[in-house]
């Protein structure tokens, strides 16, 4: 099967490249194809003629999106339309990734796949626009995740990188303890993507985070525990920090369609050890 992975240098793109290595996928990032350029998308995709298009390319800077609304919508929304149009023309299956930030996060019980989205940030709105384009593909999967972790793309730092870097110079850290999410390990999500495709699951939305949820504080505490780092952690409220974007208080993705993935703690331990 001819496979194309877009955003291949990013955190998820790199993990997918490993999981789909036996297909020798085409690994394209911005330099190979700018997915916001509709005529280039059409030309290059028709030439390559993949049977499977996996799109991880996105505008992922949640605060940055508040100031770059147009770009966020172009990349997370309109570019998805560019890809879907060609996927339909060449008969390719289309995989799009989305986020817990499409929900308002007011429900402490979290969100099922079919719950009504109601984003509270530009990033969430733009990713929802992408979902609405993705469902127009004849064969599609929308996989939602939250708080991705793994090897970051070049020049980028993850939450884990930031915590470990800060711990080198600080004796005490203050971390938000009233915002919850579901850490998702990029290699586990890449494997889950392949399982969904191989099992030929019905078109639709799937929640693909590792099992369990935690606050940023609980996540940081687990990182330091696994690494054996002795640091004083203090709980903060989300409102103690000034951030441009509003995040869901309970960005919790309930998976009701697929077997459970392993817990985020197990995945984190494997990653850090």
Ligand X SMILES: NC(=O)c1ccc[n+]([C@@H]2O[C@H](COP(=O)([O-])OP(=O)(O)OC[C@H]3O[C@@H](n4cnc5c(N)ncnc54)[C@H](OP(=O)(O)O)[C@@H]3O)[C@@H](O)[C@H]2O)c1
Q: Quote the CA–CA distance of 218 and 214 in Å, as a whole number.
A: 6
Q: Quote the CA–CA distance of 100 and 126 in Å, as a whole number.
A: 12
Q: Quote the CA–CA distance of 13 and 265 in Å, as a whole number.
A: 22
- Cβ-based nearer residue to ligand X, 170 or 244: 244
141 is catalytic: no
Do 46 and 89 contact (CB within 8 A), yes or no?
yes
Is 57 a binding residue for ligand X by CB under 6 A? The answer is: yes
Query: Nearest 5 degrees, angle CA 205-CA 85-CA 95?
Result: 30
Going by C-alpha positions, the residue among 179, 173, 163 that lies closest to residue 233 is 173
Q: Quote the CA–CA distance of 209 and 12 in Å, as a whole number.
A: 13
How do the residues of the chain divide into helix, strand and coil, expressed in percent and rounded to 5?
40, 20, 40
Is 11 a binding residue for ligand X by CB under 6 A? The answer is: yes
Q: CA dist 141 to 188, 204, 208, Å?
A: 17, 5, 11
Q: Please choose, out of 4-12, 87-95, 238-246, 256-264, the segment that lies near ligand X by the rule CB under 6 A.
A: 4-12
Q: How far is the CB of 135 from ligand X (least distance, A)?
A: 15
Q: Please choose, out of 40-48, 86-94, 147-155, 217-225, the segment that lies near ligand X by the rule CB under 6 A.
A: 147-155
- Cβ-based nearer residue to ligand X, 103 or 230: 103
Element housing 185 (H / E): strand 184-185
Beta strands 93-99; 140-145: pairing state: parallel
Q: Please choose, out of 7-15, 168-176, 221-229, 253-261, the segment that lies near ligand X by the rule CB under 6 A.
A: 7-15
Count of residues engaged in binding ligand X, rule: CB under 6 A: 26
Q: Is 180 helix (H, G, I), strand (E, B) or coil?
A: strand
In the set 97, 101, 123, 140, the catalytic residue is 123
Is 9 a binding residue for ligand X by CB under 6 A? The answer is: yes
User: Which 30-49 positions form the footprint of ligand X (CB under 6 A)?
Assistant: 30, 34-36
Residue nearest to ligand X (CB): 10
- Cβ-based nearer residue to ligand X, 157 or 170: 157
Is 183 a binding residue for ligand X by CB under 6 A? The answer is: no
Is 60 a binding residue for ligand X by CB under 6 A? The answer is: yes
Is 140 a binding residue for ligand X by CB under 6 A? The answer is: no
- Cβ-based nearer residue to ligand X, 36 or 174: 36
- Cβ-based nearer residue to ligand X, 71 or 233: 71
Beta strands 214-215; 180-181: pairing state: antiparallel
Please list the active-site residues. 123
Give the interface with ligand X as residue ranges (CB under 6 A): 6-7, 9-13, 29-30, 34-36, 56-58, 60, 75, 97, 99, 127, 145-148, 153, 156
């Amino acid at each position: 099967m001819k496979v194309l992975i877009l955003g291949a240098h990013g955190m998820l793109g790199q993990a997918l490249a490993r999981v789909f290595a036996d297909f020798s996928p085409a690994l394209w990032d911005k330099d190979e194809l700018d997915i916001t350029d509709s005529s280039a998308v059409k030309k290059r995709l028709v030439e390559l003629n993949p049977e499977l298009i996996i799109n991880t390319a996105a505008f992922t800077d949640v605060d940055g999106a508040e100031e770059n609304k147009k770009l966020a919508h172009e990349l997370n929304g309109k570019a998805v339309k560019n890809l879907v149009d060609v996927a339909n023309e060449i008969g390719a299956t289309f995989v799009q990734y989305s986020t817990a930030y499409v929900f308002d996060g007011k429900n402490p019980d979290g969100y099922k796949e079919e719950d009504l989205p109601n984003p509270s940030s530009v990033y969430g709105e733009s990713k929802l626009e992408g979902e609405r384009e993705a469902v127009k593909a004849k064969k599609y999967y929308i996989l939602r995740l939250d708080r991705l972790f793994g090897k970051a793309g070049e020049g980028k730092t993850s939450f884990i990188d930031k915590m470990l870097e800060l711990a080198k110079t600080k004796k005490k850290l203050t971390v938000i303890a009233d915002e919850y999410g579901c850490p998702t390990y990029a290699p586990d999500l890449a494997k889950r993507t392949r399982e969904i495709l191989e099992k030929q699951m019905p078109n639709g939305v799937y929640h693909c985070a590792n099992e369990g949820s935690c606050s940023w504080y609980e996540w940081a505490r687990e990182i330091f525990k696994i690494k054996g780092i002795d640091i004083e952690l203090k709980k903060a409220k989300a409102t103690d920090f000034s951030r441009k974007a509003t995040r869901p208080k309970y960005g919790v993705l309930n998976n009701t369609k697929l077997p459970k993935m392993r817990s985020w703690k197990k995945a984190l331990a494997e990653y850090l050890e």
